[in-house]
Structure 1
């Protein structure tokens, strides 16, 4: 029986790896050691911190002669700045730097919200400053209330632009946002049972929702500040709002939202509509299914639906759609750790193919990659490393256009049956995935070309993190235990050991080489071997899974 009961035993190293990978974007040995000695509940609570961002705002180092700098806090109108596409990418550079430098549930939940209320940054999100405000909204509600977020994001300037609601007026309704709000952002369709009837809502409901949303407009100057979020917001134009009553279908018990002709009335209609949608049990289940897919696995059976999804949805409803209690319950549960049946290693731990971002995050944080400091080497971090290498080459080459999925449905790996996350790993993505570690070790973009101003020191990593680096068997085993969800067998250990000790040579060859390095500080020999070993272990099938 699948169980949401909390796992009461201490996590141990294997389950700590599972939790840290699935719940955060920072995966380090020190943090693994810290939470391995905790119970699941204590570990999850320790991760549910809300630290202030390390980087307060993004920075643009261009143009070289007179950088735009902290343009998102400039008093100039947002449309006066050039390079908007680059600047939107720099916003994600700011977000990513905070995400990998903090051990918290916040950033992964922020990304989950991005996949649930999708905006494509380069396919209609508008000005880079508006996109920055959008990302701040996601961060603000990472631990917050989904129902409230559904109201706030309706007036988010990027969302208003992306799904055309800024063009939705009473005399010329635009149903784009209304349709996606129901189909993708909240209740979802359900099985189609007739022409224009999708079980959870109908085409009539889309039309009526569009009327509710009519008249909400972009405010590009950022002159309007929402008093609850303290973020720039769109505005209500009563002259372009449909003032008629909105009558919904039997899917919503034929509820009528009374039409209003004032700005205050428009917000009252929005409130009533969102409350109506979130009053449906299927809305809570839709979010819990998304959370399960995001944190646990992409497919499940009827037992999981009944014993995990449905109880989680009740937790969500009981907490009036606050998301954090649901996430805590899931991540602390016996089910999450494969501990609710007779087979503790069945099919959850190691069952998800890592996204390109997850792959990069783990390599960066586990190996303590020394990135250029954005405050003192802005050009190297924002431009050379992130924009030209991570954003434009690695992530795109690995089929993850960062914060810019190819449709409002999100990244295909999150929704496209039957492959789901297996879509991250294909013949089209192999070169970028496999050349990532090579690029980081060499400090060069080996996917295309260029200096990335980052260099991974494999020797220093081994020296600082491996207990017995002079023994090749222990060395391989310890690294494998850090890198992989499960332990490797003797055959795999011997295979990887071959990168340290040539076939036919005794183990003491490596022991002597390491001893020479320690006594002379000349790492030439061990570096060549360790570079090859780490490259092979990162590119192994075991590391592609989490």
Structure 2
């Protein structure tokens, strides 16, 4: 029986690695040591905090000589500034930098909400300020109420543009947003049982929903219409373009009638009544809990998991009026999450997910303390030279994931496409991007596309000196095992240890590495550092690119 009972014992290293990877983009030895000595509930209490962003807002260091700077704080019209595509990428750099530097569920859940309420930053979301407001809206509700977000998102300027609802008028209806709202964002289709009937809703419901959403318009200047709860700019309602007729829904929603209104307050009431109607259906809570399970635990499950895990979580979500955090805490502190509810080694959750390119990048940068340029003191190198040119335009694309820019409104295939799901991240098309990430960081140059300086260099010698006990670092067997303990979900056996050790000693005996390491420690000479660095570079590259590190 799968169990949502909380894990009672201290996590230990194996389970701490599992939780920290799944719940945060900040994955360090120091955090592992803290979490290993905590219970799951205590660890989740830490992860449930909502720290202030380390980086307050994005900065554009271009054009050279006269940078646009903090353009998002400008009172000028959003279309005043050029380079909107570049600026949208800088917004993802700002988001990632905060996610990388804060130990919080907020960022994992914010990205989860992006997979639920998808926009494409370069495929219709509009000018960069509207994308920024959209990301901040997801951040605001990441630890909050998903039903409230489902109401607010309809007046989000980026969403209004992305799915054309700003063009949805009473005399010229546009059903794009209404269709995706039901099919992808909330209740989902269910099995098709007839012409225009998808179990959970019908084509009639899409038409009626579009009438509810009619007259919701994008506010181009971001001034004046500010949401009182989020303090974010919103769209507005053009009453004259709203369909004021009553909206009658199908038997899927018990033939609910939403009375048409003809003023702003009344139209907002229509919206809220519609969202409440959708969220009153048990299928909506189940849809979100299945997505949460796939995002945090594993991509497939059986009827036992559906009955013992998904359905109770869905009921908890309903009982908490769609507050997302209590449900996530229940899931991530459960015996089931830590493989402690059965003895079936073929059905483990630990190591069951292929890392996304975002997760892979974040783990490498945080665990190895990659010296990323400071976005405050050196914004050109952070935003443009390192993030824009290497991460955004090269690595993340080559690895099969564009940040906040999936191919379609359905989102990233790894989160919905059967039967492969997260296995999609790891394919013949993405291998070069994934494997060359660590190589590029170690040599400080982009090896995915020709040899550009990335202004970042990972120091494997410093990692061994600072993160591994001195006696273990000098012993090639212990060094490999200690690094494996940090990097891999599960312990490695003797044959894998010996395989990785070969990158340190090549065809020599163990004492070759011990002698070389101790000589470097004694002399601190560049020549001796180069000797050990060559071997450590090879070892770290092999371990990061190993199958074990691709999993979490």
TM-score tier after normalising by the smaller chain length: over 0.9
1:380-414 deviations in whole A, cap 9, x for unaligned?
Answer: 00000000000000001111011000000000111
Q: How does 1:230-309 map to 2 (within 5 A)?
A: 230-309=231-310
CA drift of 1:215 comes to 0.1
Runs of 4 or more, structure 1, over 4 Å off, are none
Q: CA RMSD in A?
A: 0.7
- Equivalent in the alignment of 1:526: 532
Q: How does 1:377-396 map to 2 (within 5 A)?
A: 377-396=378-397
2:236 and 2:228 map into 1 onto residues whose CA distance is 13
- Tell whether the 8 Å contact from 1:353 to 1:424 is kept in structure 2 after alignment: yes
TM-score between the two structures when normalised by the length of structure 2: 0.98
1:61-117 deviations in whole A, cap 9, x for unaligned?
Answer: 110020000000011111010000110000000000000000110000000000000
- Equivalent in the alignment of 1:420: 421
2:517 and 2:17 map into 1 onto residues whose CA distance is 28
Moved more, 267-276 or 41-50: 41-50
Q: How does 1:479-498 map to 2 (within 5 A)?
A: 479-498=483-502
1:244 and 1:47 map into 2 onto residues whose CA distance is 47
- Equivalent in the alignment of 2:455: 453
Q: How does 1:113-192 map to 2 (within 5 A)?
A: 113-192=113-192
1:444-479 deviations in whole A, cap 9, x for unaligned?
Answer: 011113111110000000111112100000000000
Q: How does 1:461-480 map to 2 (within 5 A)?
A: 461-467=463-469, 468-480=472-484
1:313-360 deviations in whole A, cap 9, x for unaligned?
Answer: 011001000000000000000000011012367421001011111100
Match of 2:543, SS state, is helix
- Equivalent in the alignment of 2:322: 321
2:62 and 2:129 map into 1 onto residues whose CA distance is 16
Change in 2 beyond 3 A, CA 1:367/1:345: farther
Matched, 1:429 2:433: no
Match of 2:503, SS state, is coil
Match of 1:66, SS state, is coil
1:66 and 1:345 map into 2 onto residues whose CA distance is 59
Q: How does 1:51-70 map to 2 (within 5 A)?
A: 51-70=51-70
- Tell whether the 8 Å contact from 1:338 to 1:345 is kept in structure 2 after alignment: no
- Equivalent in the alignment of 2:509: 506
- Equivalent in the alignment of 1:440: 441
1:113 and 1:406 map into 2 onto residues whose CA distance is 17
The structure 2 residue matched to 1:538, chosen from 536, 544, 547, is: 544
Match of 1:499, SS state, is helix
1:502 and 1:150 map into 2 onto residues whose CA distance is 57
TM-score between the two structures when normalised by the length of structure 1: 0.99
1:468-498 deviations in whole A, cap 9, x for unaligned?
Answer: 1000000000001111001111111001111
- Tell whether the 8 Å contact from 1:484 to 1:542 is kept in structure 2 after alignment: yes
CA drift of 1:502 comes to 2.1
2:543 and 2:348 map into 1 onto residues whose CA distance is 22
- Tell whether the 8 Å contact from 1:359 to 1:544 is kept in structure 2 after alignment: yes
- Equivalent in the alignment of 1:30: 30
Provide structure 2 residue ranges, at least 5 long, that are not aligned to the other structure: none
1:189 and 1:436 map into 2 onto residues whose CA distance is 39
- Equivalent in the alignment of 2:520: 517
Change in 2 beyond 3 A, CA 1:473/1:515: same
2:377 and 2:346 map into 1 onto residues whose CA distance is 46
Match of 2:305, SS state, is helix
- Equivalent in the alignment of 2:404: 403
Matched, 1:203 2:198: no
Change in 2 beyond 3 A, CA 1:515/1:345: farther
- Equivalent in the alignment of 1:364: 365
1:323 and 1:215 map into 2 onto residues whose CA distance is 30
